[in-house]
Amino acid sequence: MIDYDRYDRIRAVQWQGDALRLLDQRVLPLRTEFITCATADEVAAAIRNLTVRGAPAIGIAAAYGVALAAKAAADAATGLVHADALRDAFSVLRASRPTAVNLFWALDRMARVLGEAVSAERMEHEAIAIEREDLAANRHMGELGAALIAPDSGVLTHCNTGSLATAGFGTALGVIRAAYAQGRLARVFNTETRPWLQGTRLTAWELLTDGIPAKLIADSAASHLMSTGAVQWVIVGADRIAANGDTANKIGTLQLAVAARHFGAKFMVVAPSSTVDMAMPHGRDIHIELREPKELLEHAGQRVAAEGVDAWNPVFDVAPAELIDAIVTERGVIERPDAAKMSGMFGSA
Ligand code: MRU
């Protein structure tokens, strides 16, 4: 049994009943600040500007954004909200970020509950259910993923997939937490995750908070690290898993998968079933978000590249299914994923 009081202490998305409180991930870990969103527009802006980030967390935040809009639009006498009144809220939230399917999954689920009209209270309960189910899925995936890891292993993770990116505990970081708690891990490494530094700023802080000894590495040190034999599993989260198992995740995931195969390390993807998109046949069709060049041209708000330098800044990439040894979801583990195994577990779209 895992001591969740030690390994699950951070909550980035906090529903207050009449507002959504978000731990501002743009300024962590140097400052602990919250922003409060009172409208769907404010939630969409917080998703777009990365105040809240990570595939499951943005789905949860978007669901609460709809719940806020429902409360504002509800008929005072009946408490009912009509679909027409929420059209703008849905569309601003849908447009906030393109790659993580959890956002669209959560909005579709809220839209199904809404139908033509429903009480605002029912919408709020659905958003709360989405959050609770995510936490339960993460804790279950932690156990499933940790069971794949032999004692005395080294692991490497990328980006931030912890409590900050989810309802709590995390996906890939949840597996690392569970494996560490079970005494399986001899070494934990995490990448800095340029350009936004989710690894340096967020994952390293979560690991430190838990008292899990870990070493931060430059993204460009990952192949060299694997060449030493120090890593048995690369463990990452996902933003969208296609029907054939191809997996979109933070930029740099693809090169980790290639290097892992080359050096004989195994590659694990950990994500709830809300990240699986059975309507997307292949990873190559996944919309990869491009963010502003200035994320690369500046450091801490200061220009570091010469004026006139341009940059290309895709923030996700796709690891093909053939480089993935295991996909762990709350429904179970798929080893060496392919389309047949995926549809066996998730059905067809
Ligand atoms: O741009 P971000 O920080 O939202 O990207 C996050 C990732 O790529 C995570 O690995 C992914 O969302 C899984 S989080 C459990």
Active site residue 239: yes
Question: Are 297 and 186 found together in one domain?
Answer: yes
Element (H, E) at 35: strand 34-37
Question: Are 66 and 97 found together in one domain?
Answer: yes
What domain range is 153 assigned to?
A: 141-346
Q: Per-residue confidence at 236, pLDDT binned at 50, 70, 90? A: very high
Q: Is 131 in the pocket of ligand 1 (CB under 6 A)?
A: no
Question: Are 12 and 47 found together in one domain?
Answer: yes
- Active-site pick, 239, 277, 317, 325: 239
Provide the percentage of residues in the chain whose pLDDT is more than 70: 100
Question: Are 201 and 64 found together in one domain?
Answer: no
Q: Is 53 in the pocket of ligand 1 (CB under 6 A)?
A: yes
Q: Per-residue confidence at 1, pLDDT binned at 50, 70, 90? A: confident
Domain count of the fold of the chain = 2
What are the backbone angles phi and psi of residue 260, rounded to the nearest 5°?
Answer: -60, -45
CA-proximal residue: ligand 1, atom 6 (nearest) = 54
d(CA 159, CA 28): 14
User: Per DSSP, what are the bridge partners of residue 268?
Assistant: 235, 326
CA atoms within 13 A on the CB side of 171: 31
Q: Tell me what pLDDT residue 300 has.
A: 86
Q: Probe ligand 1: pick from 198, 236, 287, max atoms within 8 Å of CB?
A: 198
pLDDT at 349 over 90: no
d(CA 347, CA 303): 49
Question: Are 159 and 252 found together in one domain?
Answer: yes
Give distance in angstroms: CA of 14 to centre of ligand 1.
19
Q: Tell me what pLDDT residue 21 has.
A: 98
Per-residue pLDDT of 77-133, as tens digits, reads 999 999 999 999 999 999 999 999 999 999 999 999 999 999 999 999 999 999 999
Return the structure tokens found at 124.
Answer: 């709020």
In single-letter form, the type of residue at position 286 comes to: I
Question: Are 69 and 87 found together in one domain?
Answer: yes
Q: Tell me what pLDDT residue 10 has.
A: 94
C-alpha radius of gyration, the chain, whole number: 20
Give distance in angstroms: CA of 49 to centre of ligand 1.
14
pLDDT at 249 over 90: yes
User: What is the rounded average pLDDT of the residues 52-79?
Assistant: 98
d(CA 324, CA 335): 8
User: What is the rounded average pLDDT of the residues 329-337?
Assistant: 98
Question: Are 210 and 63 found together in one domain?
Answer: no
The pTM of this model reads 0.98
d(CA 342, CA 326): 12
Question: Are 305 and 163 found together in one domain?
Answer: yes
Q: What is the CATH number of the domain that holds 38?
A: 1.20.120.420
Q: Domain end: 90, 117, 137, which one?
A: 137
Question: Are 224 and 325 found together in one domain?
Answer: yes
Question: Are 132 and 166 found together in one domain?
Answer: no
Index of the ligand 1 atom closest to the CA of residue 171: 15
Question: Are 287 and 221 found together in one domain?
Answer: yes
Q: Domain end: 78, 108, 137, which one?
A: 137
Q: What is the CATH number of the domain that holds 179?
A: 3.40.50.10470
> 306 with 296: CB under 8 angstroms?
no
Q: Tell me what pLDDT residue 147 has.
A: 98
User: What is the rounded average pLDDT of the residues 183-199?
Assistant: 98
Question: Are 220 and 102 found together in one domain?
Answer: no
Q: Domain end: 115, 137, 159, which one?
A: 137
